[in-house]
Structure 1
């Protein structure tokens, strides 16, 4: 099959014809086209083999197509020749203009740059085939921006075209660059872009004062450090290139005035350095200053344009102003004692008229607050005096304002603050720091600290910080408590007894005398309340209320039963002794006499008659209450209490009418307070038989002929037995007494 390759397609036309040597022209040969674009872009006449394009082709989208052609027998569909491959190439035409992909451009270049300084390189691209003709050959030219800038036609580099371009003359430039293909020939396509060029500033301009001479008026009332005027030098540059510093280089006022630079406004601020001596002379005085303004940032490339500084002369005239009186001090501090009488002088303020006239000054207190009314001032001398009585503990400091004005011109007033400190005197006695709730345990030991107390004083530390504590010397020595001064503004309350009883006395009152260390010394008396409480062994308070004997001991039911059993055993043992005594008496028919020299190991003789069944002191029942409690009751017999003997006072009423339990309590209380008797309650002898004993016996049991009123049911199972023993004992006692 004959074919011509490659084929170049320019537009949609006939492309080529395929022909097979087997084709006789009778239509028996059929041509088939396959490959890229076959049937869509390219079609073939299956009889003649002519190939056509159906639409325009774009080389920038696809540069070539690969097709396959074959001739077959129309009747049998069998190939007449092998399949042939051919390539159709799309020929380029100049259908794309150059484009600047990065435009528009914004660039800067320093002013005063040399001619030919590179500014920017621009690049345009052309989509046409650079290998075929001049369709993609681009040439650059400048359409706008001459004569300031130029562009290289081949590279697109933009350069300055003038020497020393001045930013102060023109700062912004808009340059238009064109790119044209076909090497710039007529008929070529073109594109353009804009380059915005800004000249940056350099320090090529020195500062300049608008005037060579200035005049400034300053009133004599100007305050030291205040600004009295401004001056400014102009600089055509911008940014740091326009920064400058002002300096007073000479002049007779250089010691009176100073100048500083405001960095925001670039102005020179003139300030008063010290008070002028205008008032020392009659006529106005003027000062002359030579002020220099110089750039702080210099570019040595442009030093030939300098010097970058300028000088001007400033004349300052000081004007006379009527000023208010001037106090000799900016503030005053004075002191006065709180017990000062009304009219006492506190201190003196002084003010003078600074003007030439030197007018007289009048003083007065500014009454803004109630504190100002505590003082008065002498209008002529400025002496401040007290107007009321002070209490430092209420107000320790007063702040008042004193004003001074000229008599000739009352409208000119000056003020000064005056602080007055109230000094302390010792006029407040010390007091207890708080209300103390003091507790002492019943089982307390002698010398035990039960409370530490402290005091307060409204006076300051010089008059009230050193406290001394003591007991009231007007009272006799307290047998129950004592006080120890700790020498650290505190005192400790200590016990003096081994044991306390709530049933005897549950509250004690202890007067305490407190004195301070001021001059003169002040003191006060306070009474401490001490409550007696029942405590655990570790000192924890259990209760502080008076209770029955057994319940106060906190005994359990088991402990009570054990005590009752012990009582029964003791009674049985007593009955046995009585029976033995009666038996021996009947056998010997003579009274039992025990020799003083007859000693038995386990027989103890008490020459003491019991008080009957209600006699609770026949034995010390408190020993059965709690072993630890019994241990606490063992007082030392070798130490005699240091308290005075308290005589016993017996009531005048008959003992027959008093209750036994109350009687025993009173006797116990007297024994506790009487240091001359033995310390054991069980050794006390009470000449009291009890009452309701019809037989008159010392026994607590009734006789056999009289029924007992005693209820023995509380003994449980022992009740009937105990009752029988009691009846037997009553019979024996009745027979013995008969």
Structure 2
């Protein structure tokens, strides 16, 4: 405690201003009043000037057991008789600071920390104890906390990360690290820092003043060592012994530079592939190694030999940095079985700083040997596709063209040809299976189909699974086999008051043929035609003109004018088309008014009369249909045999009493069981004198009927009829009926 108090007094004596008056054992502040000083034995009188010293100093972090003495307040009004009282107010009074109101001594009750608060502002005044009258007015003064070195330097981070390019020059800046010290930087060396390196030498150094880390060795190679851990220390008190220190770690990574060339691990690569490998197919990979990373390790591969450049290509796989060799042209085992070529690898990105270094050049090469393996290949056509032309008038069996295919393998097996009938459903063509000659099976018509697209299949005889298809496009050439005709149906009119040479219609023609030089049609009509003439327009159209003036509907209301149209191709084709010309009544401007000839008839039926007749005919037909329907209903109640259609083709013999067995297949027997009663008059209606059935009008006698030879109304139905009855018997008694009837006859 005595030592601390002594140090405090020593520092106060050094730091106090020249106007401060030291009062042992601490600080003394005179309040307003006068003071006396001796000068050469004389007493000098100083005028009133208030506080003599308005600031106290106090060391932080006091560790004594007693309250720490701060200083003493003293007023000239205090004569030592105990009649004055010192009063202290302000920050921390009562908790941190206490004052003896009689003596004016100030003490600190707690340990103070300058880093928490450096200055305390207080107010002091002096009053009379008895009257509480203010003797000295309230005056402000400060208590300043003096710093001691109680805080170590601290870095902003415990771990820093930095990078520097490999192969950097000595002294290249890497990173700057800084530390701070909470002690007072304006007082002593407590906050004066010095940086040093504890770990990381001899590779790096640090600037002692500002903490900048720099490279200390040249040509540091990332491929040798990539990461370094550097420990930096910051020490206060200017680095002197007894100063406090703090440390931090800096992780330094050497960033890659393109200082390593690519190298092939093997200088010979052997690959193999089938000759059937498609163009663009990958047949193998080769790889070079580069110690660099990232974009500095990217490589480009190239084929430098002509032999390899023609048949193969190589590309770089950016993910694996491998060289992928692909087929550039179709391989053929029969032509060449092995290929050898050189492949070169270089870095994609070159660093000019290392291009002229003593190291080997930044590229490498290797040999690649590719072996082609044989494959049983299908036949190969000499062309693909085939385009053949044939005229449409070619007869069946005529030559069309020839296709040719061969086996590309060394064995050169024979092939046979066929047509895929799914492409020739009409079976228009045939092909010779041996020599590939295509012929026609039917005649061709270009107007029906201009092209025929068929597929020809070539198959190896020794291995039918090896097949090849080729499209054959057969173009049917035109032959002039169609005559021109009207482009449309033409029907026009001519006015009754027309003048000679009047145009009544322009006609045109079409031809389904397509001559190479284009169509040229010639139009003509009979030169003897007295009514009309034709003028060829020389553009495949013609004009129809009147040859005379005036036409009469009464004489002729319609003219059918045949026009002959011919083409100019070989052989010349021609046809006759008919132009319909109606004679009509026209106004003075030539506009058609009416072409109806009914108005010209002096006698006859009008349109209304014709309509009335038509209605009568319809009504009459309806009556006939109704009558026929009624007759159909009445027929259901007619006797058994009322028409020829009721006759059945059966021969029946009944020998049992009460009738025979029911013939359910012939007709409804119920009709015979309940016959309608006929009166004599009605019976006579059925027995005309010319009928061969007139003998049926009486069943009470034995009859023998022989119809007249000349009366054969039913001759095809009844050849002979005999009816025998028992004498005098009732019809209900047993009887025998026997009839011989033709195919269409009724049997009973």
Report the TM-score range of the alignment, normalised by the length of the smaller protein. 0.5 to 0.7
Q: 1:131 aligns with which of 178, 186, 206?
A: 186
- Residue 282 (structure 2) pairs with residue 233 (structure 1): no
Rounded to whole Å, the distance in 1 between the matches of 2:166 and 2:342 is 33
Residues 70, 289 of structure 1: CA spacing in aligned structure 2 closer, same or farther, 3 A cutoff?
same
Aligned to 2:299: 243
Q: Secondary structure at the match of 2:184?
A: coil
Instruction: Compute the TM-score of the two structures, normalised by the length of structure 2.
Output: 0.57
Q: 1:211 aligns with which of 231, 241, 266?
A: 266
- Residue 402 (structure 2) pairs with residue 348 (structure 1): yes
Q: In 1, are the aligned partners of 2:531 and 2:547 still within 8 Å (CA)?
A: no
Which moves more between the two structures, 466-475 or 288-297? Answer: 466-475
Q: In 1, are the aligned partners of 2:490 and 2:579 still within 8 Å (CA)?
A: no
1:193-592 → structure 2 map (5 Å cutoff): 193-221=248-276, 228-238=283-293, 239-249=295-305, 257-262=311-316, 264=318, 265-270=320-325, 279=334, 286=338, 288-295=340-347, 297=350, 299=352, 301=354, 303-369=357-423, 373-427=427-481, 457-460=511-514, 462=516, 466=520, 476-478=530-532, 486-488=537-539, 518-519=569-570, 520-523=572-575, 525=577, 527=579
Q: In 2, are the aligned partners of 1:3 and 1:19 still within 8 Å (CA)?
A: no
Q: 2:220 aligns with which of 165, 187, 205?
A: 165
Rounded to whole Å, the distance in 2 between the matches of 1:311 and 1:385 is 60
Shift of 1:380: 0.7
- Residue 56 (structure 2) pairs with residue 4 (structure 1): no
Q: In 1, are the aligned partners of 2:407 and 2:415 still within 8 Å (CA)?
A: yes
Q: Secondary structure at the match of 1:342?
A: coil
Q: In 2, are the aligned partners of 1:203 and 1:299 still within 8 Å (CA)?
A: no
Q: In 2, are the aligned partners of 1:503 and 1:546 still within 8 Å (CA)?
A: no
Q: In 2, are the aligned partners of 1:464 and 1:517 still within 8 Å (CA)?
A: no
Q: Secondary structure at the match of 2:289?
A: coil
Rounded to whole Å, the distance in 2 between the matches of 1:317 and 1:67 is 102
Residues 356, 91 of structure 1: CA spacing in aligned structure 2 closer, same or farther, 3 A cutoff?
same
Rounded to whole Å, the distance in 1 between the matches of 2:564 and 2:393 is 26
- Residue 182 (structure 2) pairs with residue 111 (structure 1): no
Q: Secondary structure at the match of 2:75?
A: coil
1:588-737 → structure 2 map (5 Å cutoff): none
Q: Secondary structure at the match of 2:357?
A: helix
Rounded to whole Å, the distance in 1 between the matches of 2:321 and 2:220 is 27
Residues 504, 67 of structure 1: CA spacing in aligned structure 2 closer, same or farther, 3 A cutoff?
farther
Shift of 1:327: 1.8
Shift of 1:379: 0.9
Aligned to 2:232: 177
Residues 448, 304 of structure 1: CA spacing in aligned structure 2 closer, same or farther, 3 A cutoff?
farther
Q: Deviations over 1:519-550 (max 9, x none)?
A: 4445563657889899999x9x9xx88699xx
Shift of 1:359: 2.3
Rounded to whole Å, the distance in 2 between the matches of 1:454 and 1:236 is 87
Q: Secondary structure at the match of 2:418?
A: strand
Shift of 1:200: 2.7
Rounded to whole Å, the distance in 1 between the matches of 2:89 and 2:515 is 119
Unaligned runs of 5+ in 2: 1-30, 32-50, 62-66, 607-748
Instruction: Compute the TM-score of the two structures, normalised by the length of structure 1.
Output: 0.58
Shift of 1:172: 3.4
Rounded to whole Å, the distance in 2 between the matches of 1:134 and 1:219 is 84
Q: In 2, are the aligned partners of 1:209 and 1:311 still within 8 Å (CA)?
A: yes
The aligned length equals 544
Q: Deviations over 1:151-202 (max 9, x none)?
A: 3333322233454333223333444434343445677555444433332333
Whichever structure has more strand as a proportion of its residues is 2
Q: Deviations over 1:255-282 (max 9, x none)?
A: 87555342535444556677788647xx
Shift of 1:130: 1.6
Rounded to whole Å, the distance in 1 between the matches of 2:462 and 2:434 is 14
Residues 7, 217 of structure 1: CA spacing in aligned structure 2 closer, same or farther, 3 A cutoff?
same
Rounded to whole Å, the distance in 1 between the matches of 2:151 and 2:498 is 120
Which moves more between the two structures, 209-218 or 360-369? Answer: 209-218
Q: Secondary structure at the match of 2:188?
A: coil
Q: In 2, are the aligned partners of 1:113 and 1:163 still within 8 Å (CA)?
A: yes
Residues 336, 52 of structure 1: CA spacing in aligned structure 2 closer, same or farther, 3 A cutoff?
farther
Q: Deviations over 1:249-306 (max 9, x none)?
A: 58xx5687555342535444556677788647xxx96554454445563655363110
Rounded to whole Å, the distance in 1 between the matches of 2:119 and 2:497 is 123
Residues 397, 652 of structure 1: CA spacing in aligned structure 2 closer, same or farther, 3 A cutoff?
closer
Residues 298, 50 of structure 1: CA spacing in aligned structure 2 closer, same or farther, 3 A cutoff?
closer
Rounded to whole Å, the distance in 2 between the matches of 1:240 and 1:260 is 20
Aligned to 2:614: none
Shift of 1:332: 1.5
Rounded to whole Å, the distance in 1 between the matches of 2:304 and 2:157 is 54
Q: Deviations over 1:576-622 (max 9, x none)?
A: xxxxxxxxxxxxxxxxxxxxxxxxxxxxxxxxxxxxxxxxxxxxxxx
Aligned to 1:596: none
Q: Deviations over 1:201-242 (max 9, x none)?
A: 334434333334444445555567765544333333333455
Shift of 1:484: 6.4
Rounded to whole Å, the distance in 1 between the matches of 2:535 and 2:56 is 132
Rounded to whole Å, the distance in 1 between the matches of 2:90 and 2:393 is 126
Q: Secondary structure at the match of 1:405?
A: strand
Shift of 1:64: 3.4
Aligned to 1:151: 206
Q: Secondary structure at the match of 1:303?
A: coil
Rounded to whole Å, the distance in 1 between the matches of 2:557 and 2:97 is 131
Shift of 1:328: 1.7
Q: In 1, are the aligned partners of 2:169 and 2:218 still within 8 Å (CA)?
A: yes
Rounded to whole Å, the distance in 2 between the matches of 1:358 and 1:103 is 82
Rounded to whole Å, the distance in 2 between the matches of 1:262 and 1:235 is 14
Rounded to whole Å, the distance in 2 between the matches of 1:130 and 1:327 is 98
Q: In 2, are the aligned partners of 1:345 and 1:386 still within 8 Å (CA)?
A: yes
Rounded to whole Å, the distance in 2 between the matches of 1:362 and 1:233 is 51
Residues 494, 125 of structure 1: CA spacing in aligned structure 2 closer, same or farther, 3 A cutoff?
farther
Shift of 1:381: 0.9
Q: In 2, are the aligned partners of 1:3 and 1:18 still within 8 Å (CA)?
A: no
Aligned to 1:710: none
Shift of 1:347: 1.3
Q: In 2, are the aligned partners of 1:236 and 1:242 still within 8 Å (CA)?
A: no
Rounded to whole Å, the distance in 2 between the matches of 1:436 and 1:386 is 40
Shift of 1:384: 2.0
